[in-house]
Structure 1
Amino acid sequence: MISRRTLLGGLAAGAATAAVAGRAIGAPTARAAGTLPLHLVNKSGAYANGSVWIYILGNDGTQQVRVTPDGKLAPVAVADNGPDGFTDYAIPLAATGTTTVQLPPMSGRIYTSLGAKLKIKAVADGNGKPALAYPAGWVASDPNYDVLHDCAEFTYNSGGMFCNTTMVDMFSVPLALHLTGSGDQTTGTLKDGARARIFSEVKAAAGFDRLVVDDRRVIAPGHGLDSGLFAADYFAPAVDAAWSAYAGKDLTVTTNAGAFTGRVSGDQLTFTGPQGRGARSAAPAGPIAFGKPSTRDVLFCDGVLAAPNDGVRGPLAAVLGAALNRSTLATHPAQPVTDPAAFYQQQVTNHYARVMHGATQDGKAYGFAFDDVAGFASYVEDHAPKELTLTLTPF
């Protein structure tokens, strides 16, 4: 499986707006032979087709691009801003039924907006190249804060289609993906009535209540932290408990590189390895140490838990981050934990992610950026794709 963090890693460098550390749209590594039918289906039950707009925005490997209503790839241009200062890259839905757009090879996001169009500004990035100020619904001053919107993410290239629904930034519009090709896969579908339950259950979780914005969206706790809506030290007790636990016993983390053994000394959790028959021949040059992560590090997979695409430190950071979000690190000395019944059982846990997983039919969601650890993310891929369907599912 291609890691979502590898797949979706480059937008922040190109956009002059509030960006998400370590998770945005990267460029496809190779171009696919042709376009892929993307079907857009509105089953929201809350908005008619005429009040729903789609935006397909991203990167083709050389520049930021958007898809036109007729399925063409067009470069982003500052001149596209209209008299109101914003672009109009909206793709309207057909009056009734399914809307089909031919999706060119690219990496990007499929935004949905309901009730009003998105206000997306074309800007010059730090290198003077055209870029987009993407919607940031978790920022009260963002021009799209009052617009009901959400997105799915994808990369389509010669290797296939790789896509996911996401709640890493926020949750607002229930979306489902159906990918057909060599297989037939669906992810992201909510249980009946789950949108309302997400809002009520997050609001009921201690410390998470201020993340709920009316009936418009639920903001992810990392963005809530940056906005003063979530405690900056929330995960400190869980981190302290884990560091205390492994001061006197080993923590084993198994990745594709093999089994690593960790022990705490002072504030450093230091791993040696890999060891065992599953280890790759190329061992790390020396011990790999992690200081105590902050709550922000845990939620954003950043700072101490930043995960480089190096095959060694990156996977270790991902497993540690997932274990802290799922509250299994202190209690399970063999990581990663693969039994979801063990997740979110402690008082200090990522209740936002817990609620998202409980709301989906397949139990999978992207509630935090390391949610792909052990395969619990709302992610599907196919190396011989034929069609992709994005459905706005019932509210």
Structure 2
Amino acid sequence: MKKSEWSDNELEELLRQMPKVRDHRDPHDIYQNIFLKKRKTKSWLLPGMAAAAAFFIFIILIPKLMDGTNFSYDTAQEEKSSITNKKMELSDKESTIALKKDESSSKEQAYSGTEQSDLIKAESMKTAIYEDELGNGTVFTYWIPDPQAQILIPISTIVNDTQEQSLLSLYTKTMANLKEEEWGLSDYYPLNATIELDKSNSSVLVNVPANHQYGQGSANETIFMNVIKKDISSNSNLKKIKFLTNGETGIQFGNFGKIEEVDVTPEKKHAILFYYPTGSDIPFLTPSVDTYGDVNTAFDAMKKDQPLYGLKSSLLPLQPITNISVIDKTLFLSFKGISEIKDDQRTLSSFEALLLTAKEFGLEKVVVKDSAIPFIGPFDLSKENKVPVAPNLRNIQ
């Protein structure tokens, strides 16, 4: 660009010579126009700036928005899949439960006859001792008074550890382990006496101390004498008992007077009845106080209670019994007339009472005919059954 040839002074002088220009507009209007221009400029700038800021923020947030969208979609898919799986699991569980119900129903329908009988037999139990259960053991039977001291109840146990002791010594030692009160009976043993064998006379020596209690009242005297006689007759073949007091011959009783010896005579031909100790549903099988002429008469007695002695009928579940006969120490009878017979604990106890009653009359086996059920507990009614060795087993060792 060509440099100007005018100097500053010349230009200034030239401007002075130019005519003056005057603006005839009102000052207020001029100010108003200036103000409007400023506002228009600001109104245009602010939206632009806001749009630019928004665009900038949008650019920044696009990746996060994309991640969030993906996350929401994935979460939704996972939740949907979880719900579907839960529904499938629930459906499977419901199907399994339904299947188990169907199987249980089928089993219940199929569960009859032999299986049901096996369950009842498992819940029932025999209480007497039988020959096939003895092994090398020795049976002792102790006669224990009931709590009212009216009758004696036989309790039997099997002793296996003999250690070459004499039977009388073992019998005396074992009585200290009896649990009479636990069984609902009177606490009577061990006896306040020493019991020894008199080999020279084949008898038993019973020696009591001077302060013994067995002569105090007729009930005590009677119970003591009966306990001694029944214990000796049940556990030995000895025929005589000799009494001593502190080594001296005889025992002085208030009502019986002085007794030096008694004969041991086994008592048989009793009917076997039920005695229920307090709190027990399973009875003791207990001989009647009275004796009977034959097994038929004893069976008749077993149909009735004997409340005077606290004894209950033992034969009702097996009534009526017909065609009773005895051949060669075997009792034959029929259950044909029984309209309903159950394989339960009460019937099992009743059958054991029948077997023990047969034993009371010197019989060794029982044969049942025409039974509506094949078993009563462990007893196979299609076969002959041996009578028990002893009643009311209790394990004390």
**TM-score tier after normalising by the smaller chain length:** under 0.3
More strand by share: 1
TM-score, normalised with respect to structure 1: 0.25
TM-score, normalised with respect to structure 2: 0.25
Relative contact order, CA 8 A, sep 6+: which one is greater? Answer: 1
More helix by share: 2
